[in-house]
Amino acid sequence: MKICIYDTHKFEREFFLSCNENFKHEIVFFEARLNTQTVAMAKGADVVCAFVNDKLNEDVLKSLQQSGIRLLALRSAGFNHVDLKAAERLKLPVVRVPEYSPYAVAEHAVALILTLNRKTHKAYNRVREANFNLDGLVGFDLHGKTVGVIGTGKIGSVFARIMHGFGARVLAYDIQPNEQLIAKYNVEYKDLPVIFKNADIISLHVPLTTQTKHMLNASTFEQMKKGVMIINTGRGALIDTHDLIAVLKTGKIGAAGLDVYEEEENIFFRDMSETVLQDDMLARLLTFPNVLITSHQAFLTQEALKNIATTTLQNVTDFEQGKVLKNQVRSN
């Protein structure tokens, strides 16, 4: 099948090309993101493959369907950027990659914690300038600390296990508690207010939905311990960024590690080093010494990229062969 892959980056192309040796689809890579202006580029293809910042609203989906696209293959787990109801009305099936490496994302969350805590980013720069002073680099033992894990699905459960390995007390919140985490890793499921009150570190691993949007906001920050570290590798809008900036200014929040940002869509994955940053909230966040931002790279491991390419191409082959689409996403 002919697949147009939008918003492609150098880091992923080689994985798609080498995996495709087993599938033999016709692949066309576009650097452009999928939107109403670029949708026409897909004319003549069978499948469009989109990433997290492609805009899959009703207009785009309609144009795709009109230009003969028969399948929308997301190369992401998240699908909050797709109007699923519109896709269903248009009879355009949507498939995704539900799991590519929970380890990649969970381990990145740990990287954010360790960097913020032990200040290795500052140490690296200091030592390279022959500054061997240790002032300002004091961290804390993770051992014995209380870590709140919000969302214990595939990623959150790996993260909880790693935190258990560090010797932390792990408190968790999920609408579907994981019994294995309770039995094997001493994870304690608690209501959110209990987690907010007790946690030294809070890490977010729930999907973005109407229920979870801005779940961290002025009122929930207020309930937290002074100096708490917030880690977000979930989705930017789980946190009200405006409120986060306010509590970073007062010192209520000790540190924030953010791999995702509410308004990342037109910023992340791009080299904007030659332009003036227009996003004032992001610019403000970048001024805090205790904030570490990475540009949605938690998934970026060789294993994850290989799994994303393989599952995406397998999804397309399943569709081509009329098989049941096990990775299809539906609106409810």
Q: Catalog residues that contact ligand NAD under the rule CB under 6 A.
A: 77-78, 102, 105, 151-156, 173-176, 205-209, 211-212, 233-235, 259-260, 296, 298-299
User: From CA 163, how far away is CA 96, in angstroms rounded?
Assistant: 29
235 classed as catalytic: yes
User: From CA 67, how far away is CA 101, in angstroms rounded?
Assistant: 34
Smallest distance, ligand NAD to C-beta of residue 194, A: 14
Angle between the N-to-C axes of helices 154-165 and 102-118, in degrees from 0 to 180, rounded to the nearest 10: 40
Q: How crowded is residue 148: how many other Cβ atoms within 10 Å of its Cβ?
A: 27
Q: Which is nearer to ligand NAD, 45 or 113 (CB)?
A: 113
Residue where the block lists tokens 């409120």? 243
Catalytic entry in 70, 296, 303, 330 = 296
* SS percent in the chain: helix, strand, coil, step 5: 40, 15, 45
Catalytic entry in 12, 75, 96, 264 = 264
296 classed as catalytic: yes
Q: How crowded is residue 50: how many other Cβ atoms within 10 Å of its Cβ?
A: 26
Asked if 63 contacts 36 with a C-beta cutoff of 8 angstroms, the reply is: yes
**3-class SS of residue 155:** helix
Smallest distance, ligand NAD to C-beta of residue 81, A: 10
Residues 6+ apart with CB under 8 A from 125: none
Q: In what order do the strands lie in the sheet with 2-5?
A: 26-29, 2-5, 47-50, 71-74, 94-95
Q: Which is nearer to ligand NAD, 81 or 119 (CB)?
A: 81
Catalytic entry in 33, 161, 235, 262 = 235
CB closest to ligand NAD, residue no: 153
The token pair that represents 142 in the structure block:
């993770």
Give the DSSP letter of residue 72: E
Q: Which is nearer to ligand NAD, 192 or 246 (CB)?
A: 192
Q: Which is nearer to ligand NAD, 209 or 278 (CB)?
A: 209
Smallest distance, ligand NAD to C-beta of residue 176, A: 4
Tell me the C-alpha to C-alpha distance, in Å, between residue 300 and each of 56, 63, 105, 296: 23, 31, 8, 9
265 classed as catalytic: no
Smallest distance, ligand NAD to C-beta of residue 163, A: 15
Asked if 94 contacts 328 with a C-beta cutoff of 8 angstroms, the reply is: yes
Smallest distance, ligand NAD to C-beta of residue 133, A: 34
User: From CA 292, how far away is CA 73, in angstroms rounded?
Assistant: 32
Smallest distance, ligand NAD to C-beta of residue 144, A: 26
Q: Which is nearer to ligand NAD, 39 or 187 (CB)?
A: 187
Q: Which is nearer to ligand NAD, 174 or 240 (CB)?
A: 174
| Catalytic (active-site) positions | 235, 264, 296
